[in-house]
Amino acid sequence: MANDHLMELNGVTKSFTLPTGTRLDILRGIDLAIDAGEVTAIVGRSGSGKSTLLNVLGMLDTPSSGRYLCDGADVARMRDSRRSRFRGEFLGFIFQQFHLLDRRTALENVAEPLLFASRRDLAGRFDRAEALLGKVGLADRAQSMPHLLSGGEQQRVAIARALVRNPRVVLADEPTGSLDEATGERVLDLLFEMVRAEGAALILVTHDAAVAKRADRILTLSDGMLHPELAEMAS
């Protein structure tokens, strides 16, 4: 039953038409189901369409065909305002480049998603942001600007921001891609710990097999298709 899954993709395709008129099929019939609390790693070579899939899952991009149900709701039928509200409430994003707002403090960055939330959340946004910064070990850096934070600290701020609205699913695109190995390891530990503590599902896009190994399940994206059976190869 579709409603049993947090997210469900059925036969989702995504293609682009190049200026030369050539059609480029990035995703070719993706079937995927994500359940609560599950950690899923999506691996694949560079250019395999991992980020495109993540954008579709994050409702930042629309599939060319197929059906995408999110918490039982058909995303294609949602208007932009509802889809945005849904995205804000249901999903949290973590990017490889952190994407912190450069003129905002760490605290303001974490509180930023709550500006688009309900009035109650808006009013208590700094309390919630402070609490999360405490959880990621950056309570003392709350007033620091992003450029004064290390890469690992910035990603921790991004993790706190992704979780500030209690999302059901966290989408992480190469979360350790800009960090050195040791820092990446620590950030990943924190991410897994936080996601599990918040009871959210995590979809991790990575090309790093070591990172993927920590997931409950590994899916490989190849030729625009997801291959669970190739998980062993990825590891």
Strand order in the sheet with 217-222: 91-94, 169-173, 201-206, 39-43, 217-222, 225-227
Q: Determine, following the binding rule CB under 8 A, whether residue 168 of this chain makes contact with another protein.
A: no
Q: Which is nearer to another protein, 83 or 128 (CB)?
A: 83
Position 112 contacts another protein (CB under 8 A): yes
151 contacts another protein (rule: CB under 8 A): no
Does the footprint of another protein cover residue 78 (CB under 8 A)? Answer: no
CB of 117 to another protein, least distance (A): 7
Binding region for another protein (CB under 8 A) out of 1-9, 26-34, 78-86, 202-210: 78-86
Interaction between residue 148 and another protein (CB under 8 A): no
d(CA 102, CA 100): 6
The residue among 64 and 235 lying less far from another protein, judged by its C-beta, is: 64
Closest approach of Cβ 58 to another protein, in Å? Answer: 7
> Site for another protein (CB under 8 A): which residue of 30, 41, 57, 87?
87
The least CB distance from residue 182 to another protein, in Å, is 26
Among residues 85, 186, 214, 227, which is the contact residue for another protein, using CB under 8 A? 85
CA geometry: angle 86, 151, 129, nearest 5 deg: 45
Query: Can residue 116 be called a binding residue for another protein (CB under 8 A)?
Result: yes
Q: Which of 58, 66, 152, 224 binds another protein (CB under 8 A)?
A: 58
157 binds another protein (CB under 8 A): no
Binds another protein (CB under 8 A): choice among 8, 108, 198, 208: 108
Query: In sequence order, what DSSP letters do the residues of the chain get, joined into one string?
Result: -GGGSSEEEEEEEEEEE-TTS-EEEEEEEEEEEE-TT-EEEEE--TTSSHHHHHHHHTTSS--SEEEEEETTEEGGGS-HHHHHHHHHHHEEEE-TT----TTS-HHHHHHGGGGGS-HHHHHTHHHHHHHHHHHTT-GGGTT--GGGS-HHHHHHHHHHHHHTT--SEEEEESTTTTS-HHHHHHHHHHHHHHHHHHT-EEEEEES-HHHHTTSSEEEEEETTEEEGGGHHHH-
Give residues in contact with another protein (CB under 8 A): 55, 58, 60-61, 80-81, 83-85, 87-89, 93, 95, 97, 99, 101, 103-104, 108, 112-117, 119, 122, 161, 165
